[in-house]
């Protein structure tokens, strides 16, 4: 059991009656952990956990309660993910555009696995802030090690060999299968790339500019990445079908 320092914030409320935790949302902020806690307090926001660059973890809100971390958000059949999720913030001076520290990722893996096991969170519901709010948020960024985490049982990855197992070729439809809100197709496509095709995402050395310019407004998923999208959609569709069977 990893050591967690408790520094509870007063900015939370109760989850709605009957709502169960079924998602894990991963964030980052361009502050040290203590700076981040202070910023959250100033803005009357919160997250359940914060992990500093040295791997030190802080708990800010009880998992039983609804922390205020996701804001306006949507993923699959969930709207306003605060009520359904546990939120973890990571410190990253580049907003996840450069690699996270090994100690930080080690702590994240330990904590995430505990949360996923306790709440039986489906792999398809381990998401980035950018996945659930693609028009507003770029975190945890293109350098976030999604594939490595999937290998540790946190989230899911894809096998490119599965691209031919799904006949759909429409980008909007495929993104919806994965779980994205496609009201803004450019934003959803860019968020997908942040998660699965980081080489298609531009690095912005000015994090303040990045916060206000989350995605290129005219972005179109390059055709060469369509097989990756198809392989991801197949994986998410398959995982969702397994989850539905297990719930019956």
Residue 187 falls inside a structural domain: yes
* pLDDT at residue 227 in the model: 98
What is the mean predicted confidence (pLDDT) over 180-194? 98
Q: How many separate domains does the chain show?
A: 1
- Structure-token pair, residue 230: 């198809």
Give me the percent of the chain exceeding a pLDDT of 90: 94
pLDDT at 165 over 50: yes
Place 246 in a pLDDT band, splitting at 50, 70 and 90.
very low
Q: Residue 190 falls within a domain, yes or no?
A: yes
Compute CA 205 distance to the chain's CA centroid, rounded to the nearest angstrom. 22
Q: What is the per-residue pLDDT across 218-243, written as a single tens digit (0 to 9) for each? A: 999 999 999 999 999 999 988 765 45
Domain contains 164 = yes
Confidence of residue 191 (pLDDT cuts 50, 70, 90): very high
Q: Of residues 108 and 245, which shows the higher confidence score?
A: 108
User: How large is the average pLDDT for residues 73-86?
Assistant: 96
Q: Taking residues 163-172, report their average pLDDT.
A: 96
Active-site residue, 89 included = yes
From the centroid of its chain, how far is CA 105?
14
Taking 50 as the threshold, does the pLDDT of residue 137 lie above it? yes
For residue 49, the cross-strand partners are 59, 88
Residue 244 confidence (pLDDT): 37
- Active-site position among 35, 63, 89, 248: 89
Token pair for residue 195? Answer: 């998660």
Q: Residues 6 or more apart from 86 whose CB is under 8 A from it?
A: 21, 23, 24, 25, 48, 49, 63, 67, 115, 119
CATH number at residue 120: 3.40.80.10
What mean pLDDT is reported for the chain?
Answer: 95
Residue 14 resides in a domain: no
Q: How many CA atoms does the CB half-sphere of 244 hold within 13 Å?
A: 7
16-65, pLDDT tens digit by residue? 999 999 999 999 999 999 999 999 999 999 999 999 999 999 999 999 99
Task: Report if residue 129 sits inside a domain.
Answer: yes
Range name among 95-109, 133-147, 180-194, 231-245 with the lowest pLDDT average: 231-245
Chain centroid offset of residue 182 CA:
16
Q: Is there a domain that residue 104 lies in?
A: yes
pLDDT value of residue 240: 64
Q: In which domain, by residue range, is 236 found?
A: 4-9+19-247
pLDDT value at position 241?
52
Contact of 111 with 57, CB cutoff 8 Å: yes
pLDDT for position 1:
63
**pLDDT at 81 > cutoff 90:** yes
């Amino acid at each position: 059991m990893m050591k967690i320092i408790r520094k509870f914030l007063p900015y939370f409320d109760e989850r709605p009656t009957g709502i169960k935790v079924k998602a894990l949302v991963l964030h980052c902020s361009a502050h040290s952990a203590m700076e981040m806690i202070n910023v959250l307090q100033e803005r009357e926001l919160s997250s359940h956990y914060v992990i500093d660059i040295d791997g030190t973890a802080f708990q800010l809100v009880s998992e039983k309660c609804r922390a205020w971390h996701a804001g306006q958000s949507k993923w699959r059949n969930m709207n306003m993910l605060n009520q359904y999720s546990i939120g973890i913030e990571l410190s990253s001076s580049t907003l996840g555009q450069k690699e996270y520290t090994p100690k930080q990722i080690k702590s994240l893996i330990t904590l995430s696995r505990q949360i996923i096991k306790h709440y039986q969170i489906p792999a398809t519901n381990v998401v980035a802030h950018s996945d659930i709010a693609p028009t507003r948020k770029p975190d945890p960024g293109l350098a976030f090690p999604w594939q490595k985490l999937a290998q540790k049982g946190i989230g899911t990855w894809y096998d490119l060999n599965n691209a031919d197992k799904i006949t759909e070729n429409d980008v909007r439809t495929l993104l919806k299968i994965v779980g994205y809100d496609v009201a803004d197709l450019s934003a959803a496509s860019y968020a997908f790339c942040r998660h699965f095709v980081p080489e298609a995402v531009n690095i912005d050395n000015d994090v303040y500019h990045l916060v206000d310019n989350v995605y290129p407004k005219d972005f179109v998923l390059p055709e060469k990445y369509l097989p990756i999208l198809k392989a991801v959609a197949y994986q998410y569709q398959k995982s969702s079908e397994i989850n539905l069977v297990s719930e019956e």
